[in-house]
A and B are shown apart, each in its own frame.
Chain A
């Protein structure tokens, strides 16, 4: 099965993420209130589900009507930054892949099973890469990240900062954006602030 999926680059997804933030959170205050955007602006219902993670290795997923996000209840109540990322990721699917999902015409369990069996690893990889990229760039917008780093450390040098240099402000950045260290690290690399050897 081929989804005819557009191969959007990280920066292409970033442009879409920025448009999304400007539309739904124009004051750009951080942390980006992704749960409020989901519930209040996109009218998505968040439905906590027990044992989704422990039994089925799933943090969360959209429903076939694209109006609900199911999320593991432990993750939801105990790990705020992972919850925020999961919701942003699922919104990424909604924003980027709505048409593809609608065209799959999912109405039964068999439809889901057949698609999961037939979807190519390449297409699946792109679907996930794009949703991950969207989530990271919505929660940690490039320009805001650069501004916050420059405010604390001055201009970003041509050769970029060494990761050790960022370490002293990383806790502040984590609080500003309310994301995990892993997400912050990737955004610092992708925004050209630290070199890609950084952790």
Chain B
């Protein structure tokens, strides 16, 4: 299992390099499809079956199809002048390298992994179960079996049930707020992509008017 995970992680890192350094946009998109699919495989290895399916449907399905569709629609040209030796680029690379090094050092040395907290995490996770049982006076029942889950809930019970349990009990308000977010995004997308006034595409006059409006601050 460890070897499989290592191979998938290495492949994901390599295909992520392709996203950033491909000169053609479509190659970047296809590399991102590969990266997303490999991360979905990582989720499967880590026993997160629900997120595996969501990742494949939402990312590799919907989002990447949208990307490829827009690439085909807009047909962006390849970047022919790389921004090398730009001061901003150098500063950015230095900042990114510093961040990367800091995270690497933290992950390797400074963070200690205490496996004894594992049982505590499970107890805290099901704390509301214990509380509700105490309220009804039924203290003999094992709280972990109230919903039919064994103690090691994430890895033994069905992953979809455990995630749904959290999603619709503890985090039901954030879950409902995401529906509002999706509604706002859908309305915004319809507003942005509606047909604009007159003139063919790539109308230089329209571009001038747009620039003038922006510079004048609207009016």
The answer to whether A and B belong to the same complex is no
Measured CB to CB, the residues of B under 8 A from A are: none
Measured CB to CB, the residues of A under 8 A from B are: none
